Structure 1
Amino acid sequence: MRRGDIALINQIRPLLRHYIVDHGPLRGLVQGAHEDAFLEQIVESLRRVKFVESVRLRGISSLRANPHSDLFDPIRAAIMYVKEGRDHDEACWLVFLSTLIGKHLHAGWVTTAQIYGALGDRNIWSFQRVQNDPMLFRQWLEAHQAGIQRKVGNHRKYLSLSGTKPHAAGSAVETYVTWVNERGTHKDLFDHALQQANQNPMAAFEILFESMTAVDTFGRTGRFDYLTMIGKVGLASLIPDSPHLIGATGPLAGAHLLFDGDKKSRTSATVLDRKLVELGNAIQVRMDVLEDAVCNWQKNPSNFVPFRG
């Protein structure tokens, strides 16, 4: 374990113990090994957040935005656009595509690159091009899906790349464009939510989380991951207000295990959501970090196993 990780655990552990004194036992952490593994997962999740922050501080090659380059990386490209103060819509679009397709454990962003890069065509599927004619994109996707490598992220393993079928990639893209078009641009969309929320980043997150149900295939996980990344990259002032456990699988099982000692306990998602917010406030950890940590911890509660999928 890295020296910095040990320091973080030593910082969080007493806060966790104070929480237990004030709120009662966390039944999933009765065994010492469970507590250690849980704290290590929190640190691992914090590292992922800090990774995005560290990328923002470094120089980023323009090739990160080129889908025809082996260096293509939609998240780094979005961060580059933010740093350079340009192409806000394109940056948000890249975050959307990265969430829609996901990063494959071994093949990386290859599928996102092939779709965004129109399979090597010089006329890529930029946001402006798709926004101007979503149906053209859907027709292209339907005609070319057989030539696209289906190397998607773990959370998107059931996604169809069809351009015409309902609840598939083409429908997701068209409904996403419609969602953004309600305000005209991504900036207008996010600014409107912040205005409604009196500039409260957490309240704005909740507003957008609910409105994004209009985007096909984006269930609870897709909406949470997309809006969280928009905030982390710096495209809008958004911070998750809660873990949004209703509709969750892994994070909900983790919360059941953490608070009740049983993944199948009958405590409602609403109650567990509130409890995780209280815990996060007590140990000074953001909701996206805690959501990620409980999800990964419940897979192996007595041993720390880093998640790479």
Structure 2
Amino acid sequence: MRPEDIEIANSLSQKLIEFAKKTHPLPGIAKPQAMESLVAQMVDSIRRVKYVETIRDKELSASCTDPNNPNYDPVKAAAYFRQNGNINEAHWQVFLAIHFGKNLKSGWRLAREVYRAEGNAHHWDWQHVSNDIEGFILWLRLNTARLKRIGSFGNHRKYQSLNADSNAGTGSTVRSYIGWIGDTKDHHDLVKNAVENGGNNPQALFDILYQGIDQVKGFGRMAKFDYLTMCGKLGIVDIEPGSAYMENATGPVTGGRLLFEGKKNGVLTEKELDDLLMSLQEKLQLRFGMQVLEDAICNWQKSPNTYIPFRG
């Protein structure tokens, strides 16, 4: 670990010990090696949050937004567009990043090629795709085979499809995303309406948007959570999850039961696990702490006694 990470790890360990003594037992990390493994995963998760926030505040070159440039990066592009006042395009870049994901071998290539729109007179940016969804569907239909040869979905999106026409394909995902944004095709209006409907703090606003994004086809629990947390970390919208949204989760639920009950096949409900994680976050007081915990316990439960870094 880096020196600064060792300091964070020591603080986390102490707070976990205090939580286990005063609030709720943590039998899953009773063994020193299990504690070390979980804390290492938490440090990794904290660093992932800090990385995005560093990008948010960094002066970026426009080259990161150019899909003809191999350095194109949708997360950096989202930060660049936010910095330059193009909030709709910032949201769209986050969508591209989350829907296609970053593949361990091909990187952002799939998102880049879709955005680049080879053979088109223009890129598939937000302005063009939101105003010409039929044109996008046609282009996707004609280019599906080529795209499959060029890049792949990221690990968390590996079961998604490039199909232009199926109910579970990329065509339907993009169409339903545009539908979620609404008739004005302006993300600002979507957020404004959510604020007016009770989203008067970052956690409440996150929750309203989380419920609404449910209509985006192909966006399950993880994609919804990751899309919104990315928008929050990049400062596109002032939101932060107030819970880990454990309903329909798999790895995080297993990790939560292991942590709080000492066994993966425990009996704590998703709601009970969520409440316990919220209580733990109150003790830890981490930036985007619910995502840090959700991410860390999911990775930790795969190898609870031996730290293994996960990059997918």
User: Which TM bucket (shorter chain)?
Assistant: over 0.9
- Structure 1's unaligned 5+ residue stretches are none
Equivalence map 1:1-309=2 (5 Å):
1-84=1-84, 86-119=85-118, 121-148=120-147, 149-182=150-183, 184-285=185-286, 286-309=289-312
Task: Identify if the C-alpha distance between structure 1 residues 111 and 184 changes in structure 2 by more than 3 Å, giving closer, same or farther.
Answer: closer
Question: Hey, what's the Cα distance between the residues in 2 that align with 1:9 and 1:102?
Answer: 29
Task: Identify if the C-alpha distance between structure 1 residues 171 and 198 changes in structure 2 by more than 3 Å, giving closer, same or farther.
Answer: closer
Please state whether the residue corresponding to 2:118 is helix, strand or coil.
Answer: helix
Aligned-residue offset at 1:195 = 3.1
Question: Hey, what's the Cα distance between the residues in 2 that align with 1:41 and 1:120?
Answer: 43
Deviations 1:204-252 (A, max 9, x none): 1111111111100001001000000010111101101111011111111
Question: Hey, what's the Cα distance between the residues in 2 that align with 1:46 and 1:183?
Answer: 36
Deviations 1:253-276 (A, max 9, x none): 111111111112121111111111
TM-score when scaled to structure 1?
Answer: 0.96
Native 8 Å contact 1:67 1:114 kept in 2: yes
The percentage of aligned residue pairs carrying the same residue is: 38
Question: Hey, what's the Cα distance between the residues in 2 that align with 1:158 and 1:37?
Answer: 29
What letter matches 1:278 in structure 2?
Answer: S
Question: Hey, what's the Cα distance between the residues in 2 that align with 1:302 and 1:122?
Answer: 54
Runs of 4+ aligned residues of structure 1 deviating over 4 Å after TM superposition are none
Deviations 1:166-212 (A, max 9, x none): 11111000000000015641111122223323521101111111111
- Structure 2's unaligned 5+ residue stretches are none
TM-score when scaled to structure 2?
Answer: 0.95
Aligned residues: 308
Native 8 Å contact 1:194 1:201 kept in 2: no
Task: Identify if the C-alpha distance between structure 1 residues 198 and 124 changes in structure 2 by more than 3 Å, giving closer, same or farther.
Answer: closer
- Please tell me the root mean square deviation across aligned C-alpha atoms, in Å: 1.3
Question: Hey, what's the Cα distance between the residues in 1 that align with 2:6 and 2:175?
Answer: 46
Please state whether the residue corresponding to 1:304 is helix, strand or coil.
Answer: coil
Native 8 Å contact 1:220 1:247 kept in 2: yes
Native 8 Å contact 1:68 1:120 kept in 2: no
What letter matches 2:310 in structure 1?
Answer: F
Question: Hey, what's the Cα distance between the residues in 1 that align with 2:75 and 2:277?
Answer: 28
Please state whether the residue corresponding to 1:9 is helix, strand or coil.
Answer: helix
Please state whether the residue corresponding to 1:119 is helix, strand or coil.
Answer: coil
Native 8 Å contact 2:130 2:185 kept in 1: no
What letter matches 1:291 in structure 2?
Answer: E
Please state whether the residue corresponding to 1:107 is helix, strand or coil.
Answer: coil
Task: Identify if the C-alpha distance between structure 1 residues 5 and 296 changes in structure 2 by more than 3 Å, giving closer, same or farther.
Answer: same
